[in-house]
Chains A and B, each alone.
Chain A
Amino acid sequence: MSLITLKDVSKVYGEERTLIKALYHIDLKIEKGKIITVMGPSGSGKSTLLNILGAMDTPSSGEVLVNEIDIGKLPERKLANYRKEQIGFVFQSFYLIPNLDVLGNVLLPKVPYGIKDKDRKRAQELLDIVGLGDRGHSKVGILSGGESQRVAIARALINDPKVILADEPTGNLDSETGKSIIELLIKLVEEGKTIVIVTHDPRIAQVVSEHPLGKNIWIKDGQLSDEPTYDMYCWDSPT
């Protein structure tokens, strides 16, 4: 059974003359415990797809079903709950809060709800998992790119979400560091998480495709494909 189902989802921006079809009649099923890469050129609709999956954006038409509930029709308050309980976001630019230490950043999603001892314990466990167990009280400003992304991943996991949505998670990292981040994401899938990665990086696609739980999909002009077309290989360089 799929965890998230997209039925005939379209997302358009702009007015009639300047209409941009970011997503166009997309159907997609994301099964629990799988890792999926979404690849495609810039402007193909990758990030729009990710935002719709994460309830950061709503489709212009179609349904986004999570546990048979169409999240596209939920009010903002319930969408926030959905993001809190179901989704963990990882971004290319990490977006750590500079005046908080590592532990503070990991605990950020818990702040409005009150940070409890069990949350602190969990945050420390997550830092151990991402290999930063001894850096909890370090300022984030002194962390390397790879370490910052690990903190961002720990932050994405603090609410124990079912799905991790990663937008170019290795985009700002060197290849070695990027590889370690992918290995970390694979490890999370093996522990039962569902992960969707939007990426330009063919190495990620390769690693994912070689994994038994992995699957690659391609997107171009707002439409999905299971196989890349020729011109999909002629991508622009990653941003």
Chain B
Amino acid sequence: MVTFLARRLGLMVLTLWIISLIVFFAGQILPGDPGRAILGPFAAKSAVQVLDTQLGVNRPLLTRYLSWVSGLLHGNMGTSYSYRTAVEPFIRAALINSVKLALLAFVIVVPLGILGGVIAALNVGRAVDRIISVTGLSLSAMPEFVTGIVLIVVFGVELKVLPVTASAGAGAGDLTQFRHLILPAIPLVFILFGYIARMARAGTIEALNSDYARTAVLKGLPRVTVIRRHILRNSLLPTITVIATQTGYLIGGLVVVETLFNYQGIGNLIFKAATAKDFPMLEAGVLVIGVVYVLATLAADLLLIALNPRLRAGGQDG
């Protein structure tokens, strides 16, 4: 068990290191001269050089990478080109907002996806199964801005039942803020529904074909009891992993949804940083997303071990 955990954490650190390399490469090597990018094509060469020195970007690459990483380890994520102040406060505030939106989406989609998957599995090969699978797959692949715009038109503009901006404004009560978040959460629900339903379906089909399920049926247990006691408990384990894996994709969706609904989350922050070519902010945002994903998969692995006695027993040997 200890060996397993140590290996798992070691691999996690390795993954984080590769993420940092990708982000450094894309954010600091590819864009070329940051001083020129900030000051524009008509600025004097000397001014660009002064700014580059101030920003520390004319040092050797390895020195820059090492000082960037050591800054990150000390919680210093860099200085925004646009605001000329540290990026952490922006990132922290945006992350908290995004977590609220993401949590609401999860609270809606997890039960819905599992229900859809189980229903599809119980009707495998029939029309209900095909409809749930194809609808789920299509919704997952439908860009959030397409579903988001349809929702804005239908619920915000035509029916006028829900607000079309995600932020309720300062001083708004929790309930008002919640109402504002419903519409932005739905495109995220659409994206995730297909994945979760697919996984729950596969898990349920496997459990339905198992020996223990057959035994339960043959000894005369009612169908509902078999499904609840024997099938669901086993079929939902792989679904946990998928939910964790999809956290990252959920955040990807946030870029579009938060921009569309004008919500001050991490996605909107990344979008604005990209538009302003504010690379330190952009790097910090992308890095935080990577860290959130890596931690979410770690949490899922640990949860899976805690919930599955077979893995727990197997882990103790290793």
A and B: bona fide binding partners = no
A interface, CB within 8 angstroms of B:
none
B interface, CB within 8 angstroms of A:
none
